[in-house]
Structure formats: C-alpha cells, structure tokens
Homo-oligomer: A and B are copies of this chain.
Amino acid sequence: MQLGFVTAILPDQSLEEVLRTAADIGYDCVEVMCWPPGKAERRYAGVTHIDISTLDEAGIERVKELQERYGVFISSLGYYPNVLGGDAGAAQVAIDHLYDLLEAAAALGINTVTTFVGRDKDRTIEAQWEDFLTIWKPLVERAGELGVRIGIENCPMRFTADEWPGGNNLAVSPDVWENMWRDIPAAHWGLNYDPSHLVLMQMDYTRPFRDYPERMIHVHAKDLRIDREKLDRHGIFSHPGLWHTPKLPGMGDVDWGKFFSHLTDAGYRGPVCVEVEDRAYEGDLELRKRSLRQSHDYLRQFIA
C-alpha cells in the first residue's frame, strides 16, 4: 500500500507545490483534483491541479517529470460531479468531462479515475436506475477500451438541507453496489472506498473487504465522529450535518487498526489517500499542511 492525500485540501497550490508538500511530509502519492476550470459551488469542489482541457503532450510530459522529480506518484485523477441530477446541461458538461478524464488518465499513464455515479436526489434509486445505466454503461465501456479503472466513491452526498432527500450519489451501500455490478459487470470499475461514510450510515466498514476485495480500486482515509448528544436531539432522519463531525484519521469513530487489519487481508496493495474535511484544520495553509502531516504520521503506524 501507498499513503497519499486528496489534493482538494490545497486549492491554492500548483501541482508542483502540491507534490513538494507531499514529498516534504513523506507521502507516496496524491489523488489529483481535475475539475473543469471555473467556480466551485460546494466545499472542496472545483479544485483543478491538472487542467485536462488544455493538457497537451508537453503538459503530459511535465506531469510525468514532476512525479519523478518529487518521488511522489499520482494515484488517480479525481472529479466528483453529479451526472444524474441537477441541471441537465450541467450534467452533460460533467459527462463530457468524465470522458475527457478517462482519456487523460490513459495518456498520463495513471489509468485510474475516481468519481461519483451521481443521483437525482428527488427520486428513489429504483426510479432512476435506467437513467443510471444509460449514462454509465458507455462510460465504463470507454474506460475499458482505454485500460482505465474507475473507482466510485461510496459517499452519500447527503449532509445538508440542499442535498435532501436523496443526496447526490447513489452508490452508497452493498445492496446498490451489487446491483451496479450485476447490470454493468465489467471488472475494471469498483469503489473508491471511504470507511467514514459507513460509520455515518451505521454500517460495518470492514465487511466489504471480505465480500468484494477485487472491487477495491482506490481507498480514501477520512474519519468522522458521531455526536451522540446531537443525534439524541435530531435522530437519523434529520440532516446528518446536524449530528456528525468530519475529523482527521484517529480522531473519529473509525478503528484504523481494524480497518487495516481487514484491508491487508483483502490483498489490497493500492493507494490509501487521506481526505481532509476537518474544519478545525481549515484556518490557513499552515494549518492544512499540519493536518496532512498529522494524518500522515497517524496512518504510517499501519502503512510502513
């Protein structure tokens, strides 16, 4: 396994600065954010460390050279839009960008793209299943042609009132995953697995390692804390933002020893990328770097 981080936490740094930061701290890799240039509408979205839209041969060479120079490799190109919900035009732009991302991942020799499948938050999963297949069958097929693997993050994207009721990503549970893989059985797509979402949804976050070890394309290391007193006040059917707090690894409810115990037994040998969303460490760049250093040091006890 290799230890990395998701670059969204360093929006103001260039790719080179990001890689230098990673190298300074001791990270092995990074998942690079590749949003289309423009303005983000939610926290951690809209970050562009590699601008795919302008990536030419020289750019490709430079990205490769930077990885070598800093001894830090890029584990995946990350982009987390909602291709099934919201404005139809925007969704099409996102789909097009995903196709471009697949090309770019192949061209850069990274061969992995991490993203969401999206969701129309106002409909049940069953009601939009055909739409899901219409969009994703060709995407997965194209990835196969290019030799690129796709890791779908298992995030519910359902934290606040504006994401109510269904959230912006339907790939949230074993039940849904198994349906996804039944209907699009290609082996080169699977999960960008983040245990914190299962903690939020009160699920066993080690079982998927036993049930689908081969579907672990990429792994996120985020943590969160369920705030019991707040949950007692609101209950699980309220907006989850009311009763949980995202935290750095080691300060939430994930038992990382148990997590890595099962992850190693699953035969996983890929990247594990820290995703920082802990507001206590968002103050300034120095604090955000600290959060990366602390997460690195904490997780190294399980990834030597």
Contacts and interface: CB of A to CB of B under 8 A. Distances in A.
Contacts of A156: 235, 237
A257 interface: yes
A167 B234 CA distance: 15
A267 B280 contact: yes
A246 B101 CA distance: 41
A202 B236 contact: yes
A261 B267 contact: no
Contact of A301 (B235, B252, B301): B301
A220 to B, nearest CB: 17
Counting every copy of the chain, the complex holds 6
A124 B161 contact: yes
Contacts of A234: 173-175
A204 interface: yes
A238 interface: yes
A304 B300 contact: no
Contacts of A245: 261, 265
A297 interface: yes
A234 B251 CA distance: 26
A227 to B, nearest CB: 9
Contact of A202 (B173, B235, B252, B258): B235
Contacts of A295: 304
Contact of A236 (B174, B201, B204): B201
Contact of A233 (B161, B173, B300): B173
A139 interface: no
Nearest to A261: B251
Contacts of A165: 164-166
A278 interface: yes
Given A156-B237, A164-B165, A203-B232, 18 more contacts: A173-B233, A173-B234, A174-B232, A201-B236, A201-B237, A204-B228, A207-B232, A225-B258, A236-B236, A245-B261, A250-B301, A252-B261, A290-B304, A291-B304, A293-B304, A294-B302, A297-B301, A297-B304
